[in-house]
Amino acid sequence: MKEHLIVPTPKSRIVALSKLAIWPLVAYGLLQASRHHLSHVAILQHCAQLPWLRIYVLVATMVLTGLSVLVARNGWRIWRSGQYPAPGTSVLFATRIRTGWWARLDTIIMFALSAFSVALLIALLEYFVFSEVGLYVLGLRGCEA
């Protein structure tokens, strides 16, 4: 049986490396944001922290929504093509194309990860926005004066 491979081009290697470099940059950004919060925001009174808390909830909502959409899109591309990795995917090394149950399993995993990130988003919004505690934390109760 002939083995099918996706052979990377120099451009696809650069794209794959840039996709891998996003995660350390996100971790560094979270580290810097937490340092900024501890040194500048945490020392403020509760009502003065509210704009920052709203920003945190908004950023977390955007990140979880984007993660869910991107993972579901990748799962949909694999489902539609019937192969993993999907056509047009940038790879760093020569990668064997898998079809059949392997591609279906990968699609199921992608959709499960997307559903998990949607569940996290719903829990985040339920706690911080739609509950009474969230209304207090985000400043809609208690800091009107």
pLDDT tens digits, one per residue of 50-84: 788 888 888 889 999 999 999 999 999 999 999 99
7-32, pLDDT tens digit by residue?
Answer: 889 999 999 999 899 989 989 998 99
Q: What is the pTM of this model?
A: 0.79
Is residue 143 assigned to a domain?
A: no
Is residue 37 assigned to a domain?
A: yes
Beta bridge pairs of residue 120: none
Is residue 111 assigned to a domain?
A: yes
Is residue 127 assigned to a domain?
A: yes
**Do the beta carbons of residue 110 and residue 71 sit within 8 Å?**
yes
**Do the beta carbons of residue 53 and residue 137 sit within 8 Å?**
yes
- Domain extent for 56: 5-137
The number of distinct structural domains making up the chain is 1
Is residue 107 assigned to a domain?
A: yes
Percent of the chain with pLDDT over 70: 88
Is residue 68 assigned to a domain?
A: yes
Is residue 38 assigned to a domain?
A: yes
Is residue 142 assigned to a domain?
A: no
User: What angle do helix axes 101-128 and 46-81 make, rounded to 10 degrees?
Assistant: 160
